[in-house]
A = this chain, B = another copy of it.
Amino acid sequence: MRGIQAAFLGFVSMTSAAFGQDKAAIDKLNESFMAAFQKGDTAAIGQMYAEDAYLLPSGGEMVKGRAAIQAFWTKAAEGIGDFKLTTVDVKPLGNDAAREIGTFTLKTKGQPPQEVTGKYVVVWQKVGGDWRLATDIWNTDK
């Protein structure tokens, strides 16, 4: 009985550890995303997406594929100043996918700058051992 309990606890803590790793990996990737955005390095942002990723922008048409997504962010970055992502929840789905829910705030570059708040869902997928954004959608709170 003790052996079974120990094995079960071992399983639970392994699962938690794997989950913690996913969460930590995704937090780090979001830091990279924000840093690249701040520098206007949309090529680096494009590389964070899976080759066949979908982007579903609020107020715009669906965008498919890494090249088109990079072009989207290049255009979008022209009008956006400060930009912050905050993860709310990460849920692992199978061994190589995870669903992240988060919130964002951004300031537009217009005069006067406007603050926009919203929320997003990203489905991350492991491609060759690296987490990449496979599906990315957001909307605004107002």
Which residues does A use to contact B, with CB under 8 Å?
54, 56-62, 88-89, 91, 93-97, 99, 101, 103, 119-121, 123, 125, 134-135, 137-142
Contacts and interface: CB of A to CB of B under 8 A. Distances in A.
The complex is assembled from copies of this chain, and their number is 2
B56 A121 contact: yes
B137 A119 contact: yes
Listed from nearest, the 7 A-B pairs whose CB atoms lie closest are: A94-B94, A139-B139, A93-B97, A58-B139, A93-B93, A121-B137, A56-B119
Nearest to A137: B121
A138 B141 contact: no
Contact of A58 (B58, B95, B125, B134): B58
B137 A137 contact: yes
A137 B139 contact: yes
A59 B93 contact: no
A28 B123 CA distance: 23
Contacts of A140: 58-59
A131 B24 CA distance: 29
